[in-house]
Each structure stands twice: as structure tokens, then as C-alpha cells.
Amino acid sequence: MTALRHDWTRAEILALLELPFADLVARAQGVHREHHDPNAVQVSTLLSIKTGGCPEDCAYCPQAARYATGVEAEKLMDLDAVLAKAQAAKAAGATRFCMGAAWRSPKDRDIPKVAAMIGAVKALGMETCATLGMLSEPQAHALKHAGLDYYNHNLDSAPEFYTEIIHTREYQDRLDTLGHVRDAGLKICCGGIVGMGESREQRAGLLHALATLPAHPDSVPINRLVQVAGTPLAGTRALDPFEFVRTIAAARIAMPKSMVRLSAGRAEMSDELQALCFLAGANSIFYGEKLLTTGNPDVEHDQALFARLGIHALEVDVESNTVHADIVERCAAEAAA
Ligand code: SF4
């Protein structure tokens, strides 16, 4: 059994990325089979519960208020609307429901409203995930108390490339939020984006930063940049698809137990490229027609692809996912107050 390592060097990860393609994929597939069912893929659905109008300047993001991308700022969705979307996602086969809000960080007054959503979704028997921006320590604890399973907060890139992409918050701010989330006992979903113009060495730097966190993230989303007109990264030279597969494979080898997720950019991937990613160790996808504000393959297409590849959706452990009705009621009452 491959041991979990937290002492990867950047040079070692770069050396993985530089292996002959077949050697890299074979090694990743071997590690994958040691730790996971190679034919099971975890399925999450992502809902934007508060879209647009974000004060941050992430150069890839159509939700940043400062870029003219046509994304209109909306208010936080109400509880019933979120619950209806979660029920539909569950009916379509999703086991995890991720709620995303375009905030720099949530205000304390937002927390009870989000807590009510978490409680209600959890009561459906789904795993819950939230991505709300930077979190304080008390906010992380409040979300945990509401029944949240995962918190998503990405490192986005290698530390030295980060300042080319984001100027309104520091890399250390991200590490601090991850620390609060970890200390609150939440599972961590943390990955990055490739295809932003970074070098292979810098992709190794992103994977190195992830693999040397105090604990490997439970989920590692690897996003391929979706170029949106109006954002500074529109027009960036597209990443070689094989380089994307290499990144997935190196993530699998460096973080053997993590769920490696094919995230943004899947709508532009062929079925064959997605199959290669699964072969290289990806075992989680976002499912549903929309990813926050950008497109995603439709559910029927994904189901057909799973059938063609003999892949089944990973079941959620419902027993560990139960939540007491009193928490749901209290959160709903706080949200209504
Ligand atoms: S990625 Fe998040 S924090 Fe950055 S601009 Fe978009 S919504 Fe705001």
C-alpha cells in the first residue's frame, strides 16, 4: 500500500509531471486501485446560492463585479429555492450538494441563513459542501455545528503565480481559512485551476502546496480554466489536454486517498479526454447543467458516459450523514429571524 506522504518536494512532483505519459498514467492508476474503487465516481452538484457582484479581482472569475462579463449580481437565494434545487440534484443521482456564494467572506448575519440551507439539504440525506470565501474561526465552527460536511476553499495556483491572478487577498489568507476549517473539524475541499498561463513547474508548485498541507484535502478539485469574455484571462493560450491529464495523475500519486475532482472546464472536454482523466485517477465530478455561472455537461450525457465506461456513482454513507431535526428547525428559525 502506497504510504501517505506529506514531505513531497516540488522537484519530485515536477519529476512526476515529466514522466513519459504512459508511465505516469500507469503509476497513477496503480495508486488509484490501491486506495479506491477504480470504477466508482463521486457525484456532486454545485449551486450558486448568491451570484455575482463579488468585490475580489480573481482574474479568471466572471462573478467579479469589476469585470464586464454579463453576470448580474443577485441576492442570496431563499431557503425553499435552494431546497428545491437540492431535491432535484438528489433525484438526478448527486450525493453531495455544494452551495457557492460570490463573497469575499460571509458577513456574520449571513451565517444563520446558510446554516439553515445546510441543515435542510443534510436532512435530505446528502453530503453538504459550501464555498463562501474566507472564513473566520467562529464562522467555521458555526457551519460545522449546522451540519456542514465539507468546505471548499481553493489555493488556486502555485504561491509565486498567485500574485499574477489575484491582488485582493493573499495566499496566506487562503491558508488561514483552511486552518480555521480544519480546526473546526470540517472536511476540506481544496484544489486549483490550471491553464491560466502558468508553467509546468508552477503546476508542480500548486500540487506541492496541496500535498504538503497539514492533511491532504479530502477532495481536490482540479479545474481547467474556462475562459470567459470580459475577464483578464480571456484569450489565454489553451492548455494542452495531455498536460491536464498529467496534472490529474500527479495529484492522484501525491494525494493517494483524496477524491480528485474533474471540475470546471469539463464541458469543453471530449468524452475521451474525461475517460483518460478517470484512468489517471480522477474519481469525482460536478454534475448538473451549470457550474456556478459557466456550463457543465448535461446529466443525461454524463449518465451515458458512465454507462459506456462501466462507471457507477459512489454511494454516500447516509448513516454518518444524518442530522437531527432540531438543528434543522433551529437554523430555519434563526434564518427567519
Ligand atoms: S473566485 Fe470567488 S472570490 Fe474570486 S471573484 Fe469569483 S466569486 Fe469572488
Domain assignment present for 318:
no
d(CA 263, CA 274): 11
Domain assignment present for 255:
yes
d(CA 27, CA 291): 31
In short, whether 251's Cβ falls inside 6 Å of ligand 1 is no
Domain assignment present for 85:
yes
d(CA 2, CA 23): 17
Q: Note the pLDDT of residue 261.
A: 93
What DSSP state is assigned to residue 237? Answer: P
H or E stretch at 97: strand 96-101
Residue 261 annotated among the catalytic residues of the structure: yes
This prediction has a pTM of: 0.88
Domain assignment present for 324:
no
Q: Which of 48, 56, 151, when mutated, tests ligand 1's pocket best, judged by the most ligand atoms within 8 Å of its CB?
A: 56
Domain assignment present for 328:
no
d(CA 217, CA 192): 12
pLDDT in tens, the chain (337 residues): 777 899 999 999 999 999 999 999 999 999 999 999 999 998 888 899 999 999 999 999 999 999 999 898 999 999 999 999 999 888 888 888 999 999 999 999 999 999 999 999 999 999 999 999 999 999 999 999 999 999 999 999 999 999 999 999 999 999 999 999 999 999 999 999 999 999 999 999 999 999 999 999 999 999 999 999 999 999 999 999 999 999 999 999 999 999 999 988 888 899 999 999 999 999 998 876 555 556 566 778 888 899 999 999 886 543 333 333 333 333 334 444 4
The single residue of 5, 66, 104, 129 carrying the catalytic annotation is 129
Give how many domains the chain has, as a whole number: 1
In short, whether 133's Cβ falls inside 6 Å of ligand 1 is yes
Q: Contact at 8 Å (CB) between 204 and 211? A: no
Domain assignment present for 3:
no
The single residue of 27, 98, 190, 224 carrying the catalytic annotation is 98
CATH number of the CATH domain containing 186: 3.20.20.70
Domain assignment present for 176:
yes
H or E stretch at 285: strand 284-286
Cell of 213: 498541507
Domain residue limits at 266: 10-313
**Atom 2 of ligand 1, residue of closest alpha carbon:** 102
**Which value, to the nearest 10 degrees, does the dihedral of the CA atoms of residues 113, 133, 188, 80 take?**
30
Strands 192-194 and 187-189: unpaired
Summary count for the chain: helices (H), strands (E):
12, 12
Domain assignment present for 84:
yes
Residue 54 annotated among the catalytic residues of the structure: yes
